[in-house]
Structure 1
Amino acid sequence: MKKNIILKAFLFFYFIIFYNHVIGQNQLFKYDLEYKPSPLQNNTIVEKMVLDVENTKLSIFRTEHEKKSDSLTAKTGLGLGRKPTFESQFYIVKKLADNEVKKSIKTMYSEIFSVNINEKLNWEIFPEKSRIRTFEVQKATVNYGGRNWIAWFASEIPIQDGPYIFHGLPGLIIKISDNENNYIFSLTEIKASEGDITYRPKSSELTWEQFEKLSENYYSDPFATLKSMGIPIKVDDGNGNGVTPDLKILSDQMKKKIKENNNPIELNHKIDYR
């Protein structure tokens, strides 16, 4: 018991020293995102996410894969592959000084679109406290995207930010989940960010209605753009040979995947794919 108290105290003071060292720098917060891609199944996916914070004014939330891709794009003009479905993309750009939050979507054709998140976060803070790892955390709740969320924030980290679109609490959000545990964001690591923060370039802005229309058109014919451009499509046959696929079969496979993995964070903007 005594050893545990000493260990916790050591970790706490180590964190304070470390945090004071990096407070003036760009910071990187790593989160695990565990989510259910399908509302009809209990299987979950765990994504390694990164929250880059620049002087507490700009923050970028994305997967580690997307962070690497953005860095490569800045250096070479070519990035890594992206997810073919929209519902499983979690790329968020926050400019908190300007009260601006955008959800970024990248298509399989490297088109970049964004949706302004105008839904206000009306937090309710409770006196209830707990401990997550070395952090003393306090409870708060909010409704966003048609889901009820429970957050635990640490006032000892004076950054009013957190994973995904969530921000505005008097301390960093250490953990947040919806009340049905479809989405669970958990802080795993804090470190100083290395170099400049690079992120996606300016995108075409859409309303939610336009985004939903884009999603429906994509679902109806995922390869419509390639067809209209007359670009030949080749896939690997498993032996390193490029072969022309049956686009109907590929489209049906894509539509099946989109339909089965239709559990977006913004439940109030869920599309009824048929």
Structure 2
Amino acid sequence: MKKITALFLLFGLMVSAQNNRVIYEYTFRPDSSKTDSLKTEWMYLDISKNGSKYYSKKAFENDSIVAESIKKQMASGSRNIAVSRQRNGIEISYEVEKLYPGYQTFLTASIGNDSYKVAEDRTPVWKIQPEKKKIGEFMAQKAVTDFAGRSWEAWFTPDVPIQDGPYKFSGLPGLIVSVADRSGSHSIELKGLKKITQTSSTEVDTQGRDLPFTRRKPIEVNRKQYAQKLKQYENDPVQGMRELLARPNSKVKINMNGKEISDPAEILRTMERNAREEIARNNNKIELEP
């Protein structure tokens, strides 16, 4: 009884409080050719009165470390800024933002050394089904939709009257507690709810310096333009870095998995090899039709 009472108290906080965090476990198969390639990443859906933001816990922590390192170097007056790129198991680098009350949705993702904010022009069209079941402490109801090239099955709980959910999913009469595509490649399940303070930004003032691997203001594009950028990157994954290194007096030093590299030609070779290997390993993205 105490557990149930605590849950309903938490539901009240979710509805009335300024900032709340929904914690999801995202399980996915990045390589469709390998059935044993399942990976897991903890994802946050931070909800405020103005909207929500969905992002990776590990990516946020890593960005915070990089931002703090750059701030310290710039404060010391260093002319050459060393940027360390350590993946540390990070698989998800994108973010999804929704603006209330209209639920306008934006994807923020990096392609090479550029960041893009993509306005989503599609909305999941749900068909609510009669099936109900208990998921954890929640009584949930089934809904299905086709979105971005995949068929999805979701379970939502009217007990939490927030019409939001992980990734770009929203619009059901209750919080989405579970959503999975029918191929079994992507599955997102709620694991916790908590009240939080305002999330800090990981953006850093580079004082006009163009530093690789740093969070910067994204370029706003529509979905068609973003798809074209993705295609260009697949054809030439180091185009942006090549242009950066070609600038006069450009000096870049990077740390790739513990190895420090400063020679421009070696930087390009290493980055292109790593990029093409990563593209090959990630052929089963959450959106088959971006």
Deviation at 1:88, TM superposition (A): 4.8
Residue in 2 aligned with 1:227? 242
1:121–1:251 Cα change, 3 Å: same
Tell me if the contact between 2:107 and 2:120 (Cα under 8 Å) persists in the aligned partners.
Answer: yes
Residue in 2 aligned with 1:195? 198
Deviation at 1:168, TM superposition (A): 0.6
**Higher mean displacement: 18-27 or 158-167:** 18-27
Residue in 2 aligned with 1:41? 34
- For residues 106 and 222 of structure 1, the distance between their equivalents in structure 2, rounded to whole angstroms, comes to 12
Structure having greater relative contact order (Cα 8 Å, sep ≥ 6): 2
Structure 2 residue ranges without an equivalent (≥5): 72-82, 204-215
User: Partner amino acid for 1:164?
Assistant: Y
RMSD of aligned residue pairs (Cα, Å):
3.1
- For residues 242 and 67 of structure 1, the distance between their equivalents in structure 2, rounded to whole angstroms, comes to 25
Q: Equivalent of 2:283, from 259, 262, 271?
A: 262
- For residues 237 and 169 of structure 1, the distance between their equivalents in structure 2, rounded to whole angstroms, comes to 43
Residue in 1 aligned with 2:109? 105
Q: Give yes or no for the alignment of 1:94 onto 2:98.
A: yes
- For residues 257 and 96 of structure 2, the distance between their equivalents in structure 1, rounded to whole angstroms, comes to 36
Tell me if the contact between 1:90 and 1:164 (Cα under 8 Å) persists in the aligned partners.
Answer: no
**Higher mean displacement: 145-154 or 196-205:** 196-205
Deviation at 1:157, TM superposition (A): 0.3
Deviation at 1:40, TM superposition (A): 1.3
Q: Deviations over 1:206-233 (max 9, x none)?
A: 2333222212222333322232233455
Deviation at 1:246, TM superposition (A): 6.4
Q: Equivalent of 2:122, from 119, 122, 125?
A: 119
Tell me if the contact between 2:112 and 2:233 (Cα under 8 Å) persists in the aligned partners.
Answer: no
- For residues 178 and 84 of structure 2, the distance between their equivalents in structure 1, rounded to whole angstroms, comes to 29
Q: Equivalent of 1:52, from 27, 46, 51?
A: 46
Tell me if the contact between 1:54 and 1:197 (Cα under 8 Å) persists in the aligned partners.
Answer: no
- For residues 143 and 105 of structure 1, the distance between their equivalents in structure 2, rounded to whole angstroms, comes to 22
- For residues 63 and 255 of structure 2, the distance between their equivalents in structure 1, rounded to whole angstroms, comes to 26
- For residues 48 and 132 of structure 2, the distance between their equivalents in structure 1, rounded to whole angstroms, comes to 29
Q: How many residues align structurally? A: 256
Tell me if the contact between 1:52 and 1:197 (Cα under 8 Å) persists in the aligned partners.
Answer: no
Q: Equivalent of 2:140, from 137, 160, 166?
A: 137
Deviation at 1:96, TM superposition (A): 3.0
Deviation at 1:147, TM superposition (A): 0.7
- For residues 14 and 97 of structure 2, the distance between their equivalents in structure 1, rounded to whole angstroms, comes to 22
Tell me if the contact between 2:20 and 2:195 (Cα under 8 Å) persists in the aligned partners.
Answer: yes
1:250–1:229 Cα change, 3 Å: closer
Q: Equivalent of 1:155, from 134, 138, 158?
A: 158
Residue in 1 aligned with 2:220? 205
Deviation at 1:253, TM superposition (A): 3.5
User: Partner amino acid for 1:158?
Assistant: P
- For residues 220 and 243 of structure 2, the distance between their equivalents in structure 1, rounded to whole angstroms, comes to 23
Structure 1 residue ranges without an equivalent (≥5): 1-8, 270-274
Q: Secondary structure at the match of 2:169?
A: coil
Instruction: Map 1:5-44; keep pairs closer than 5 Å.
Output: 9-25=1-17, 26-42=19-35, 43-44=37-38
Q: Secondary structure at the match of 2:16?
A: coil
1:252–1:196 Cα change, 3 Å: closer
Question: TM-score of the superposition, structure 1-length normalised?
Answer: 0.80
Q: Deviations over 1:189-208 (max 9, x none)?
A: 10002135648776322233
- For residues 104 and 70 of structure 2, the distance between their equivalents in structure 1, rounded to whole angstroms, comes to 27
Identical-pair percentage: 24
Residue in 2 aligned with 1:186? 189
- For residues 153 and 117 of structure 1, the distance between their equivalents in structure 2, rounded to whole angstroms, comes to 22
Tell me if the contact between 2:59 and 2:92 (Cα under 8 Å) persists in the aligned partners.
Answer: no
